[in-house]
């Protein structure tokens, strides 16, 4: 639970000079009428039919929004549709069989192209295989794959037969996979032998095997052979080879199952304020409508585009903006397996140039790295095909924003800074690129039809120029419907803070702090709960702390975020051991090992600071805010509430010595 009074510090907020959208962009944009804001406002919630109309429905809906059971809202109830049919089949019917759906760029320069027809064949065959393995409608299928085409193929095959998918980021550990399969009662797993990390073959299957050993349920597993002879593997009795299955079911067709709009499309686990990840449930109609509409209105995707969202499908950004949104619009979506600096720092620009990419969407962390590497890398390529740039995942300050605008966009591409979350399903705050002025450093206003507000701890909207809590005052189609872990936790995590159930007044709480300006532009300041955002990836400090305290000899731990020029935020851990002060390398290594085992390398701390004690209040609460200030070299707030104020001085002295 969030301590709402903790967000008291006023941070300076910088926004750069506003820029008008480039006229060459406006001329061709999907949305250009500024009247759209009023139109949506006057016609709410029916305005969202505009999003639903981008989809093909097997049975049309009669109601747009059902609010009776708030905060358990229903969008387009009584409508029926299938997500895979929307993303694939309907494009064959509209004569786009040979149009490229997925352009895959492998780590070592390998390339694969799937036309819509190829994708159709693949998902039919794999859907048939899943059925033969026993997967029925509503069974949760876990997918633990890196960025290879079989990942979206597996997702869409699940969608075809109405089996919700549960994609677990390939870089997470065996323990993290087991937790998520257990929580989702999942008895099916699609994984691979391994993948290339940097130059090396990395064994994924052994992680999957270890996860399965921890589970009570039997798991039937499909293994994609990605590495061939580079990493030979043996299949067990309850394991099948993906390519053999495809051959067995070659040519098989499976009718897409018409799903109720409110049927679950997928669950995605994300970090919450407790150690237990939250299973965010998204449904078929509202989610797909919102992801598709924002791909059209915010990212300006057109069917003839080559569109590239350089994220990982293992997180929500990839679900909404590599797979569902772009494929529903029938465009070409680029999928990149590697990293931006392998084999060299020009890798992304080479891909943009060669594929004549029109739209490029990435995270501020990546942009800060490009900036650091220098403009000579993009300057060596022809990037003139680019029409729009996007960013997502963390706040972006004016300097990297401007660098992106100048050196990647050549000052002719609008930049959309899109704020949203796993829970919002799709973009929630952003400028409309063909309509609005851009302000570097501010994401933008609420999208039409959304009502995002910045409020104080009593829920009252703050004055322009002030900061407060970021809340959403009206339901929206892509919103999380509940948590797989239960409705109670759903209410507690998102609704209890700012809602008044007595008067049926519901406000969703995002967990973020923000500032709003006189034009309604929102600058997101960061999380106010026990979640830190490292390179656009969400981590729970509690989860990292429990991995640390699991190490023999460790007494207590506190994890905070430290600002970092490249990552935005780094993980910074304070640890006290049972024997008092310790800087033993062995303990440090055990701590890092344990974190990688429990979560994965993404949670690895950049610093483990040993201290004889942690600073605590008289009631025994660890003062994380102070530790955060120390880690960031900031001036300390009030320490009078501390039982052991001297400890702060000791920690600082220790740091000064380094």
Q: Of residues 293, 370, 405, 419, which one binds ligand WT7 by CB under 6 A?
A: 419
Residues 110, 284: contact at Cβ < 8 Å?
no
| CA distance between the termini of the chain | 36
**Would you mind telling me the total number of residues written for the chain in this entry?**
658
Cβ neighbours of 109 (radius 10 Å): 10
Piece in contact with ligand WT7 (CB under 6 A), picked from 98-106, 202-210, 365-373, 414-422: 414-422
Q: With CB under 6 A as the contact rule, which of the stretches 246-254, 341-349, 413-421, 458-466 interacts with ligand WT7?
A: 413-421
**Pick from 249, 187, 195, 244: which is nearest to 215 by CA?**
187
CB of 394 to ligand WT7, least distance (A): 5
Least distance in Å: CB of 270 to ligand WT7? 5
Task: Name the E strands within 406-541.
Answer: 415-418, 452-455, 467-472, 508-516, 522-527, 531-534, 537-540
Pick from 600, 603, 534: which is nearest to 567 by CA? 534
Smallest separation, CB 382 to ligand WT7 (Å): 28
Query: Which of residues 149 and 393 has its CB atom nearest to ligand WT7 in the complex?
Result: 393
In whole angstroms, the minimum distance from the beta carbon of 422 to ligand WT7 comes to 3
Rounded to whole angstroms, what are the CA distances from 159 to 137, 185, 298?
9, 18, 25
Q: Would you say 394 or 543 has its CB closer to ligand WT7?
A: 394
Give 166's strand partners. 142, 267
Beta carbon of residue 473, minimum distance to ligand WT7 (angstroms, whole number): 17
Q: Is 530 in the site for ligand WT7 (CB under 6 A)?
A: no
Choosing from 533, 546, 577, 609, the residue that interacts with ligand WT7 (CB under 6 A) is 533
Cα separation values, 602 from 164, 172, 348, 596, Å: 26, 8, 22, 8
Residue from 105, 175, 485, 512 binding ligand WT7 (CB under 6 A)? 512
Q: Quick one: tokens of 25?
A: 């962009």
- Residue from 511, 568, 600, 615 that binds ligand WT7 (CB under 6 A)? 511
Applying CB under 6 A, which part among 103-111, 197-205, 509-517, 580-588 lies near ligand WT7?
Answer: 509-517
Q: Which lies closer to ligand WT7 via its Cβ, residue 71 or residue 390?
A: 390
SS3 breakdown of the chain: % helix, strand, coil, rounded to 5? 30, 25, 45
Q: Judged by CB, which is closer to ligand WT7: 173, or 430?
A: 430
CB of 418 to ligand WT7, least distance (A): 5
Taking the C-alpha atoms of residue 192 and residue 200, their distance in angstroms, rounded to an integer, is 15
Q: Are strands 306-309 and 332-336 parallel, antiparallel or unpaired?
A: parallel
Pick the binder of ligand WT7 from 317, 497, 569, 577 (CB under 6 A). Answer: 317
Footprint of ligand WT7 on residues 103-132 (CB under 6 A)?
none
Q: Which stretch binds ligand WT7 (CB under 6 A): 158-166, 172-180, 531-539, 594-602?
A: 531-539
Which of 166, 204, 221, 510 touches ligand WT7 by CB under 6 A? 510
CB 184 within 8 A of CB 209: no
What is the per-residue binding string for ligand WT7 in 371-400, x denoting contact by CB under 6 A?
Answer: ---------------------xxxx-----
Residue 586 burial (10 A CB sphere; 0-12, 13-18, 19+): exposed
Looking at the Cβ atoms of 81 and 528, the one nearer to ligand WT7 is 528
Q: 513 near 7, Cβ under 8 Å? A: yes
Cβ distance to ligand WT7 smaller for residue 283 or 428: 428
The span from the CA of 327 to the CA of 624, in Å, is 43
Say whether residue 294 binds ligand WT7 (CB under 6 A).
no
Q: Give the per-residue contact string, 432-451, with ligand WT7 (x = CB under 6 A; - = no).
A: -----------x--------
508 lies in the site for ligand WT7, by CB under 6 A: no
Residue of 538, 562, 624, 625 that binds ligand WT7 (CB under 6 A): 538
Joined tokens for residue 325: 């949104």
Alpha helix (H) residue ranges in 70-187: 83-84, 90-93, 116-132, 150-160, 174-183
Closer of 525 and 591 to ligand WT7 (Cβ)? 525
Task: Fill in the DSSP letter of residue 529.
Answer: S
Residues 6+ apart with CB under 8 A from 173: 207, 596, 597, 598, 599, 600
Q: Which one of 152-160, 324-332, 420-428, 480-488 is the stretch in contact with ligand WT7 (CB under 6 A)?
A: 420-428
Instruction: Give the span between the Cα atoms of 319 and 270, in whole angstroms.
Output: 13
C-alpha distances (whole Å) from 292 to each of 56, 201, 335, 397 are 12, 36, 18, 28
Question: Is there binding between residue 536 and ligand WT7 (CB under 6 A)?
Answer: yes
Is 422 a residue that touches ligand WT7 (CB under 6 A)? yes
CB atoms within 10 A of CB 31: 16
Contact 245, 235 (CB under 8 A): no
Q: Please identify, among the stretches 27-35, 418-426, 608-616, 644-652, the one whose residues bind ligand WT7 according to the rule CB under 6 A.
A: 418-426
Residues in the site for ligand WT7, rule: CB under 6 A? 270, 316-317, 392-395, 417-422, 443, 510-512, 524, 527, 533, 536, 538
């Amino acid at each position: 639970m969030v301590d709402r009074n903790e967000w008291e510090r006023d941070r300076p907020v910088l926004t750069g000079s506003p820029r008008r959208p480039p006229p060459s962009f406006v001329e061709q944009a999907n949305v250009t009428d500024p009247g759209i804001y009023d139109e949506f406002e006057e016609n709410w919630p029916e305005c969202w039919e505009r999003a639903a109309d981008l989809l093909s429905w097997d049975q049309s809906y009669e109601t747009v929004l059902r609010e009776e059971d708030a905060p358990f809202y229903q969008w387009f109830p009584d409508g029926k549709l299938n997500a895979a049919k929307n993303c694939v089949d309907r494009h064959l019917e509209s004569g786009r069989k040979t149009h490229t759906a997925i352009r895959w760029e492998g780590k070592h320069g390998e390339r694969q192209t799937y036309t819509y027809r190829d994708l159709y064949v693949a998902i039919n065959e794999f859907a048939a295989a899943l059925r033969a393995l026993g997967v029925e409608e509503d069974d949760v299928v876990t997918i633990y794959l890196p960025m290879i085409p079989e990942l979206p193929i597996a997702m869409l095959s699940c969608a075809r037969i109405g089996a919700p998918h549960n994609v677990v980021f390939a870089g997470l550990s065996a323990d993290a996979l087991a937790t998520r399969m257990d929580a989702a009662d999942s008895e099916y797993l699609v994984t691979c032998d391994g993948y290339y990390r940097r130059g090396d073959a990395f064994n994924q299957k052994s992680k999957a095997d270890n996860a399965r050993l921890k589970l009570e349920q039997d798991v039937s597993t499909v293994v994609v052979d990605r590495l061939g002879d580079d990493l030979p593997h043996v299949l067990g009795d309850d394991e099948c080879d993906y390519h053999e299955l495809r051959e067995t079911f070659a040519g098989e067709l499976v009718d897409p199952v018409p799903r109720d709009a409110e049927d679950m499309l997928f669950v995605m686990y994300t970090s919450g304020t407790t150690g237990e990840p939250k299973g965010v449930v998204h449904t078929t109609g509202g989610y797909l409508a919102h992801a598709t509409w924002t791909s059209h209105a915010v990212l300006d995707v057109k069917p003839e585009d080559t569109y590239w969202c350089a994220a990982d499908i293992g997180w929500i950004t990839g679900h909404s903006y590599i797979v569902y949104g772009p494929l529903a619009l029938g465009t070409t979506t680029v999928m990149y397996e590697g990293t931006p600096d392998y084999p060299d720092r020009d890798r992304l620009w080479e891909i943009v140039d060669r594929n004549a990419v029109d739209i490029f969407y990435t995270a501020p962390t990546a942009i800060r790295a490009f900036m650091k590497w220098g403009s000579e890398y993009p300057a060596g390529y022809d990037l003139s095909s680019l029409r729009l740039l996007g960013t997502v995942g963390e706040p972006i300050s004016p300097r990297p924003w401007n660098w992106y605008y100048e050196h990647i966009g050549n000052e002719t591409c609008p930049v959309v800074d899109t704020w949203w979350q796993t829970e919002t399903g799709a973009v929630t705050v952003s400028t409309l690129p063909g309509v609005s002025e851009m302000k570097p450093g501010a994401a933008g206003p609420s999208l039409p039809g959304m009502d995002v507000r910045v409020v104080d701890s009593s829920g009252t909207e703050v004055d322009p120029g002030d900061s407060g809590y970021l809340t959403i005052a009206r339901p929206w189609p892509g919103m999380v419907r509940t948590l797989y872990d239960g409705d109670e936790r759903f209410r507690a995590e998102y609704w209890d803070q700012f809602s008044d159930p007595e008067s049926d007044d519901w406000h969703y709480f995002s967990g973020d702090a923000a500032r709003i300006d006189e034009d309604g532009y929102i600058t997101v300041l960061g999380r106010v709960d026990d979640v830190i955002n490292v390179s656009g990836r969400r981590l729970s400090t509690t989860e990292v702390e429990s991995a640390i305290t699991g190490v023999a000899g460790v007494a207590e731990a506190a994890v905070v975020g430290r600002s970092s020029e490249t990552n935005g935020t780094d993980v910074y851990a304070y640890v006290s051991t049972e024997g008092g002060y310790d800087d033993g390398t062995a303990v440090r290594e055990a701590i890092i090992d344990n974190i990688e085992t429990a979560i994965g390398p993404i949670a690895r701390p950049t610093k483990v600071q040993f201290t004889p004690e942690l600073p605590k209040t008289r009631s025994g609460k660890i003062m994380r805010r102070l530790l955060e200030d120390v880690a960031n070299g900031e001036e300390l707030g009030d320490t009078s509430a501390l039982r052991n104020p001297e400890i702060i001085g000791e920690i600082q002295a220790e740091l000064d010595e380094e």
